[in-house]
Chain A
C-alpha cells in the first residue's frame, strides 16, 4: 500500500524497501518508461526532513550521487515523496562478500572517496556514510544514497544529538554535547565502511567498539592485501582526533596514486630520439660531458636519482630525490653556452581512472 496517492504517472511495482526513517517505493515512471525510487518518511512530522534532504541534495553535482527527479505532495496530509534515480545494483557490502579481487577493493574505495569528496566540496556533510547507503548502478558506478541526516558544512555547526549509525559514528559523537560536526565525521564513517569492503563485507570485530577509541584495527591485516601507503591513509581515517584525519580529497588522491601505480608515462626527446620511461624501476640517463642527470620512475612518481654539473629543470636546480614537474625542459650545459646547451623536453601523462 502506498502512503498516499501518487500521481498516475508513477506506477508502484509492489516492491518496498525499508530505510532508517522512511520507506522507498520502487515505481515505474510511465512517461519516461523507467524505474524510479520514491522515498517517503514513515511519520508525517518527519516529512519536513525530506524537504531538508532535498535542500541538501540540491546543487550537489557528482557522478556518485543519485539524481533527484520530482517531489510528490499528498493532497490530504503533509506527506511528501522524493522521486529519485533508481540504483539497481548491489550494496557495496553485499558486493564485497563475493569479491575475490583485492584490486577491485581499491577501485571501489576510490569511487566512494570521490563521491564523499564531491559532497564535501559542495559544503555538505552526509553524516550517514555506511555500506548499506552505497550501491552500484547499472554501469558499476558507485552511488551514495540517503541524505536524510545530511547538513551544511558550517564551521559553527553543533549538535546535541548523535544521530547516525552505531559503529559508524565518529568518536566525537560520544563526547558531551554540544558536539562539533565537521566533514571529518564522514571521513571516520568512510574508514569503517572501507574496513567492511576490505573484510569481505563484514564489519571487523575490532571496530565493534563504542566509543570507537583506542581501536585495535589496522588495514594491514585485512583480506584486501593493501599496499602500505594506502594502509597508512586508511588507518588515518579512523583516528580519534577529528583534525588528525585526512580530508576525503586527500584520501581520494592517495587511492588514485595507487590505482595509477606503474601506469604513468614520461616521454623525453633526447639526442633526436624519443625515450619513453614507463616501467617501474627503470631510469633515464641524460649525460653531456661531465653534466649528468638520472631520472627514475618508481611506479608513483618521476624523481631525480642522480645529478651532477650544470643541469636545470625548468631553469631550476633540482636535488637528488626531488620530483619532476608534470612537464619540463631539462637544460644540460653551462648557462654561458646559451642556445648551445642541450634541451630535453619531458612530458608526463597517465591513464584516466574515473568510471
Chain B
C-alpha cells in the first residue's frame, strides 16, 4: 500500500482542487476533486509510479477516443510537478466490485439485464472507435448509487496493457503472480487467449470478459473461480454451472433464458465464434427486462408455508406486499434489506422483483 500523494486541499493548474482520496487500483491512485472552472465534481487519477506514466498517457488517449453515455468521460489530461493526471467525470456511487462486495450478493435478472445492456453499448462504442479495453472487470465499471443503478459506465481503457506485462512476467515466474493484486483481480474475467498469450488477444477478449462479468452479477461469483486456480478452467472454457436460482425462480424466465444464452455465447472458447459487441447490443435490446423505479427497504414480516408471503417496510407507515415467488433469493427473513420495484395494489402495493441485499 503506497501512501497517498495528496491529503486534500491541494490545487492543481489553478483549476482542480483535490478534495479526498477515493480509491486505488493496481496502477493508479484515484481522488475526488473539484473542477473550479466548471464548478463540478471530477475524478482525478494519478499513476503510482513514474515507469507507468507513458502507459498512463496512452490509456488517457484511448479513453478520450470514446464518447458514449456508458463510458466514463475523459475530461482532461495534464502533467504538473512531474506527475501525470487524468480527469474523468465523477459518478456518485461506486464501482461494481465494491457494489458486489458491500451491497449486493448478486443481481436479480432484471437488474442484471439493465447493467449488461448498458455495458454492451459502452463496449460497442469503444470497439467502434478501435479501442480494446483489455481489462473489463467489475472494478472497472462505475455505477450510480441509486436503487436502479441508473448510470453504468466503463472506465480505465487500455490501462490493462500494464496488467498484461505483469501477467507475461508472472507466467515466467509463478511466484510473482500471487503477489500481484492487479493480475489476481483481472484473472477471473480473462479470456483463454488472453491468459495464454496476451499479445494475441483482441476485441473478442472484451466480449468474453463481459460474459464472465454477467455471470458474476447473476451468481455472485466469477464463472471459473478466483485466483490462480481459475486458470485451468478458463483455458478449458468449460461452461460454468447455471446460477441455482434460475431453476427455482421460474417467474424470472424467459429473461433468465435470454441472459444465460448471452453468458454461453460470450464464454465460447474460440474468440471468432463469440458475438461482437454490436451483436451483443442487439441481443440485449431484445431482452425484456423491467426498468420500473426501485426502492430499498427492510422485510418487516414473513409468513412461511405454501404460497408464502411477506411485507417490506420502506418509509414509516408504508408497507409493500411481496410473494415468495417474486423474491429472488433463498429464504426471506424479517430484518433483511431488499431492493425492489413497487406496483399499485390494495390495500398494500405489491413488490416485484424483490432482491435481498447484503
Interface residue ranges, A against B (CB under 8 Å): 29, 31-34, 54, 58-59, 63, 67-71, 85, 137-139, 141, 263-265, 267, 269, 274, 276, 278, 314-316, 325-329, 339, 343, 345, 347-352, 355
A167 to B251, CA, bound (A): 53
Q: With the chains together, A274 CA to B129 CA distance in Å?
A: 42
Kindly state whether residue B101 has any CB partner on chain A within 8 Å: no
Given contacts A350-B288, A351-B288, contact A67 B38 (CB under 8 A): no
| Contact between A54 and B38, CB atoms less than 8 A apart | yes
- Determine which residue in A63, A265, A269, A352 has the highest number of CB atoms from chain B within 10 A of its CB, and name it: A352
Out of A29, A316, A347, which one reaches B352, CB within 8 Å? A347
20 intermolecular pairs with C-beta atoms under 8 Å apart? A31-B77, A32-B60, A33-B64, A34-B61, A54-B38, A58-B38, A63-B68, A69-B75, A70-B76, A138-B129, A267-B253, A325-B343, A327-B290, A327-B292, A327-B326, A328-B343, A347-B352, A349-B255, A350-B288, A352-B285
A50 vs chain B, min Cβ distance (A): 13
The size class of the interface chain B forms with chain A is 35 or more
Q: Give the Cβ gap from B251 to chain A, nearest Cβ, in Å.
A: 6
Residue of chain A at shortest CB distance from B79? A31
**Shortest CB–CB separation between residue B155 and chain A, in angstroms?**
15
Which residue on chain A has the smallest CB distance to residue B253?
A274
Q: A276-B254, A348-B290, A351-B288 are in contact. Are A31 and B78 (CB under 8 A)?
A: yes
A347 to B114, CA, bound (A): 16
State the CA gap A68–B307 with chains docked (Å): 55
Residues of chain A within 8 A of B343, CB atoms compared: 314, 325-328
B250 touches A34 (CB 8 A): no
- What's the minimum C-beta distance from A32 to chain B, rounded to whole angstroms? 4
Q: B128 — which chain A residues lie within 8 A by C-beta?
A: 138-139
Please state if B69 and A269 are interface contacts (CB–CB under 8 Å). Answer: no
How many angstroms from the CA of A345 to the CA of B343 in the assembled complex?
A: 13
Q: Give Cα A34 to B341, complex, Å.
A: 42
14 further contact pairs, Cβ within 8 A, besides A328-B350, A352-B291: A32-B64, A32-B74, A34-B65, A59-B40, A67-B75, A139-B68, A267-B254, A274-B250, A316-B344, A326-B290, A326-B343, A349-B255, A351-B288, A352-B117
Determine the chain A residues whose CB is within 8 A of the CB of B349 once the complex forms: 314
A258 to chain B, nearest CB (A): 16
Are the CB atoms of A349 and B288 closer together than 8 Å? yes
Are A345 and B345 touching (Cβ within 8 A)? no
Q: Is B286 an interface residue (CB 8 A)?
A: yes
Q: Are A67 and B73 in contact (CB under 8 A)?
A: yes
CA of A334 to CA of B69, assembled, Å: 51
B97, chain A: closest CB distance, angstroms = 24
Q: Which of B60, B67, B326 contacts A139 (CB 8 A)?
A: B67
Q: Are B39 and A58 in contact (CB under 8 A)?
A: yes
Minimal Cβ-Cβ distance residue in A for B117: A352
Question: What are the residues of chain A within 8 A of B76 when measuring CB–CB?
Answer: 32, 69-70
Check B302 for interface membership: any CB of A closer than 8 A.
Answer: no
**How distant is the Cα of A325 from the Cα of B350 in the complex, in angstroms?**
10
In the complex, chain A residues whose CB is within 8 Å of the CB of B64: 29, 32-34
Nearest Cβ distance between residue B281 and chain A, in whole angstroms?
Answer: 10
Q: Is B125 an interface residue (CB 8 A)?
A: yes
What is the minimal beta-carbon distance from B170 to any residue of chain A, in angstroms?
A: 31
Contact bitstring B96-128, A, C-beta under 8 A = 1, else 0: 000000000000001000100100010001001
